[in-house]
Amino acid sequence: GLHGFHNQENSKAPVNVSGEVSGLGKGLHGFHIHEFGDNTNGCISAGAHFNPEGKDHGAPNASVRHVGDLGNVEAGGNGVAKVDIRDSVISLEGPNSIIGRTLVVHADPDDLGVT
């Protein structure tokens, strides 16, 4: 599983997301924070991508994106994706806080808002 989310300095500082996800098919997998912390019924109960600002879906480095848009992780032939993301939009406090929400690794790649 993921090792953790680390906010090193203050509420405006980037959050580091690091660890490994196993049991995946080889290739890219969408990686998102969803609205709710309820995963009893998969993505249905987890809600949509976390989007408190009402923006369009986009890539993690895009100026317009959901707060929860973290892009893709890539699994190798062993089914393991190493995660090492530093993101300045998510937070561990305030309106963009990801605390208590569901982190979803999707079966398919994220389109990064291109389609």
| Successive 10-residue mean pLDDT values, the chain, 115 residues | 60 87 96 95 93 97 97 97 94 91 95 90
Q: What is the residue range of 86's domain?
A: 2-105
- The whole-number pLDDT of residue 70 equals 98
* Cα separations in angstroms, 100 against 26, 29, 61, 106: 29, 22, 24, 19
- The whole-number pLDDT of residue 110 equals 97
Would 112 be classed as within a structural domain? no
* Cα separations in angstroms, 44 against 23, 37, 41, 71: 21, 11, 6, 20
Separation between Cα atoms, residue 60 and residue 86, nearest integer Å: 10
Would 36 be classed as within a structural domain? yes
Would 111 be classed as within a structural domain? no
Number of domains in the chain: 1
Would 110 be classed as within a structural domain? no
Would 66 be classed as within a structural domain? yes
Burial class (CB in 10 A: 0-12, 13-18, 19+), 114: exposed
Would 114 be classed as within a structural domain? no
CB atoms within 10 A of CB 21: 18
| Reported pTM | 0.90
- The whole-number pLDDT of residue 104 equals 94
Instruction: Please name the helix (run of DSSP H) or strand (run of DSSP E) that holds residue 84, with its range, or none.
Output: strand 81-87
**Measured at the alpha carbon of residue 39, what is the angle toward residues 37 and 44, in degrees to the nearest 5?**
105
- The whole-number pLDDT of residue 1 equals 55
- Which CATH number belongs to the domain containing residue 57 in this structure? 2.60.40.200
